Amino acid sequence: MKLTSGALFACLCIAALSSCNHAGNKTTTMADSVVLADTSMLTQPQAEAFEATIDGRQTHLYILKNKNIQAAFTNYGARIVSLFVPDRTNKLVNVNLGFDHVKGYQTSTEPYFGATIGRFGNRIARGEFSIDGKKYKVPVNNAPNALHGGPEGFQNKVWDASLSGDSSITFHYVSKDGEMGFPGNLDVRVTYSLHSNGELHASFEATTDKKTVVNLTNHAFFNLNGDGTILNHLVHINADRYTPVDSTLIPLGRHEAVEGTPFDFRKEKTIGQDIETDHVQLKNGKGYDHNYVLNDTEKYKGLKLAARVTGDKTGIRLSLYTKEPGMQFYSGNFMQSKNNLMGDKKDDLRTAFAIEPQHFPDSPNQPSFPSTVLEPGQTYKTQSVYKFDIVNL
């Protein structure tokens, strides 16, 4: 299904807001009654700018909407292009960094904006792993390691797409046996859906015909103020431990307590509060670029709380819930102002953060980590929920 630019974001409405209390802050949640949102500052992606032929396949822009949220997706990388949610003044804010044309994603120095990541999210040491004694090699693209499935990972693939009404889209891709060095034909389906209470759901499924490794996630770059620094965003991470890394960002194979370190976000604090602390792990990551071992507490719809992040200017709060055992927290340390983004923005240093639900980095080479092996006859399934509400700070 293709949409004309004139149909994009037509007649936008969002939910009225009702109040409740949480953690000492007054919060508002989205209800089903409808009020007209302020769309005067809305920067709309244009469908025509996403019409292209890549590797012999057609790319498109797709729009999802409900009373609370509007989001744009493209089948190039099965990625989120824009994600508009209301702030405390009822103005819509695009909290996802992206491009307003498909060529931007093709030529970007940062290839992962909003993309579905696979076959293996995060890093594999030296791009090597073994299954049942057989060695496999993934091309190195983050020297000396392989990152996010190698240089031609899922972010560069044109997926099949099917819409289900106005609020759900499913992307489908078959990764052939040997693609980027991974064994097995991997059949992948990813469904993104909007829910009326201010939620974006991401569901992943995969099957294989040969024993392989799988670790799927989404790599949205969030800024809950819409633009500017993220250092004053407030963050809570539901984890007592994290996995320290070496200088190449490969885990050392152990968990360490966050207590007494700059990595302790169990009590809400700003991203910038401790980011310049003289700590070897912050030096290794050039900031936060680490996997957190999530506590199995504070459940929502059967999913564990991973993190809450609040934009200091808008009051928009994002709560992430997931089935995954870990979450990578990335504070935009490698953003270099080299890309012109939607809304006349640049990807300046630390103007976005990522919270990526996942199995742990380098799991195929770390026997003590939760396994990422998928066998024929099994179905890989995982789900994450991105829940938006408003905090009056």
The token pair that represents 146 in the structure block: 């392989």
pLDDT of residue 14: 33
- Cis preceding linkage at 144, omega within 30: yes
The token pair that represents 178 in the structure block: 């040997």
The mean pLDDT of 88-99, rounded to a whole number, is 95
**What's the pLDDT tens digit per position in 172-200?**
999 999 999 999 999 999 999 999 889 99
pLDDT of residue 10: 37
Place of tokens 């507490």: 297
The mean pLDDT of 125-142, rounded to a whole number, is 98
Q: Which residues contact 35 (CB under 8 A, 6 or more apart)?
A: 13, 14, 15, 16, 90
Beta strands in 165-211 (DSSP E): 168-175, 186-195, 199-208
DSSP structure string for 91-109: BEEE-B---SSHHHHHH-S
Q: How far apart are the C-alpha atoms of 344 and 67, rounded to whole Å?
A: 27
Q: What are the residues facing 358 on neighbouring strands?
A: 326
Which three-class secondary structure state does DSSP give residue 25? strand
pLDDT of residue 175: 98
pLDDT of residue 1: 43
Burial of 228 (0-12, 13-18, 19+ CB in 10 A): middle
Out of 101, 233, 356, 359, pick the active-site residue. 356
pLDDT of residue 32: 39
**182 neighbors 138 (Cβ within 8 angstroms):** yes
- Structure letter (DSSP) for residue 372: -
pLDDT of residue 31: 47
Query: pLDDT at residue 288 above 80?
Result: yes
Q: How far apart are the C-alpha atoms of 185 and 192, rounded to whole Å?
A: 23
What angle is formed at CA 131 by the lines to CA 133 and CA 117, rounded to 5 degrees? 155
Residue 10 phi, psi dihedral angles, 5° rounding: -70, 140
Q: Are strands 25-36 and 380-392 parallel, antiparallel or unpaired?
A: antiparallel
What mean pLDDT is reported for the chain? Answer: 91
The mean pLDDT of 132-154, rounded to a whole number, is 98
Position 153 confidence tier, pLDDT thresholds 50, 70, 90: very high
**What's the pLDDT tens digit per position in 247-274?**
999 999 999 999 999 999 999 999 999 9
Q: What are the residues facing 48 on neighbouring strands?
A: none
The token pair that represents 302 in the structure block: 């059967």
DSSP structure string for 294-358: E-S-SEETTEEEEEEEE-TTT-EEEEEEESSSEEEEE--TT--S--EETTTEE--TTS-BEEEEE
Query: pLDDT at residue 295 above 80?
Result: yes
Query: pLDDT at residue 240 above 70?
Result: yes
**150 neighbors 186 (Cβ within 8 angstroms):** no
The mean pLDDT of 240-244, rounded to a whole number, is 98
pLDDT of residue 181: 98
Place of tokens 């401790």: 274
pLDDT of residue 22: 39
Q: Which residues of 163-184 are buried (b: 16+ CB within 10 A; e: fewer)?
A: eeeebbbbbbbebeeebbbbbb
Q: Is 219 a catalytic residue?
A: yes
Out of 219, 233, 255, 290, pick the active-site residue. 219
Q: How far apart are the C-alpha atoms of 370 and 350, rounded to whole Å?
A: 30
pLDDT of residue 206: 98
Residue type, 291: N
Q: Which residues contact 175 (CB under 8 A, 6 or more apart)?
A: 118, 119, 154, 157, 182, 185, 186, 188
Q: Is 236 a catalytic residue?
A: no
Q: Are strands 115-117 and 92-94 parallel, antiparallel or unpaired?
A: unpaired
Q: How far apart are the C-alpha atoms of 149 and 71, rounded to whole Å?
A: 26
**What's the pLDDT tens digit per position in 15-72?**
333 333 334 456 666 543 334 455 445 567 899 999 999 999 999 999 999 988 999 9
Q: How many CB atoms lie within 10 A of CB 5?
A: 13
Q: How far apart are the C-alpha atoms of 23 and 303, rounded to whole Å?
A: 20
Which three-class secondary structure state does DSSP give residue 180? helix
The pTM for the full model equals 0.91
Q: How far apart are the C-alpha atoms of 389 and 318, rounded to whole Å?
A: 7
